Structure formats: C-alpha cells, structure tokens
Amino acid sequence: MLLTVKVVRADRKFNFLLLSLRSAAGILVASIVAIGLIWPLVTATLSTLLAEMFHARVRYSGISIGYQIGGALVGGTAPLVGTLLLALDHGRWRWIAAYIAAISLISSVAVMQSVSRRIAEPVPA
C-alpha cells in the first residue's frame, strides 16, 4: 500500500509536467502512464479491500451497490462541482484542489473505519 502511494505521488508530478507542456505527445504519454502503470495499482488494492469488506453471501451485491452509488454521487458530480468552483474563483484551481482533498479525506476515513470494523467482526458460521 505504501508503495502504491509513493508511485502515485511520483506519477502525479510527472503527469502534471507533461500536461503543462500542452502538447499532444505529452498528453498521450501522461495518459498511457496513468492508465497503464497507476490504474492497475489502484484496482489491485481496491478489489482486495472490497472483497474483504463483505461476507461471501452478500459480497457481490454489497460491492456493486456501494461502488455504483459512490461512483454516481462523487464521480458523476465531480465535473459539475469542478466547473462550478472554477467559474466562481475566476479560473483559479485552488478550490478544486480543496474539493479533491476533502473527498480524499472522507474516503480515507471511510476506508479506515471499514477495515477496522471488518477485522473486529467474527466470521459467521
């Protein structure tokens, strides 16, 4: 997990550098690196975490409902919120960064709570 965080942080700087060049080749390389190198690290840890959060008899429904509702509420509204924040602050990105940080903090707290609760629960017979 710590390795994933370090790789994502390093890739973020690299991708922002490539995107700031405003060239098609830079955007292509940044996209390939993000999707080809970073996204597999995220999905590998995410699938394990989600599988461990639910008992086998409700695992498929629990993962699906939680994943789809979370994606719709946060992922679906993020472009609208980002555009609104950008327009309200006259093209500056600082409130978008604060929004992303707030969503990340909420997600981190939720993950920590779910992992600690799952460890404490006994497995049903």
Residue 107 and residue 74: Cα distance in Å, rounded?
Answer: 11
3 state SS of 77: coil
pLDDT in tens, 44-69: 888 888 888 888 888 888 888 888 89
Q: What's the pLDDT score for residue 11?
A: 56
Q: What is the pLDDT of residue 2?
A: 46
Contact 8, 41 (CB under 8 A): yes
Q: Pick the more confident residue, 10 or 1.
A: 10
pLDDT at residue 117 in the model: 61
Confidence of residue 1 (pLDDT cuts 50, 70, 90): very low
Q: What is the pLDDT of residues 114-125, one digit of tens each?
A: 766 655 566 555
DSSP 8-state class, residue 76: T
Higher-confidence residue of 49 and 8: namely 49
SS3 92: coil
Pairwise pLDDT comparison (6 vs 109), residue with the higher score: 109
| Per-residue model confidence as pLDDT tens digits over 83-94 | 999 899 888 888
Contact between 8 and 38 (Cβ < 8 Å): yes
Counting residues of the chain whose pLDDT is more than 90, the rounded percentage is 4
**Does the pTM exceed 0.75?**
no
How many Cβ atoms are within 10 Å of 114's Cβ, its own excluded?
16
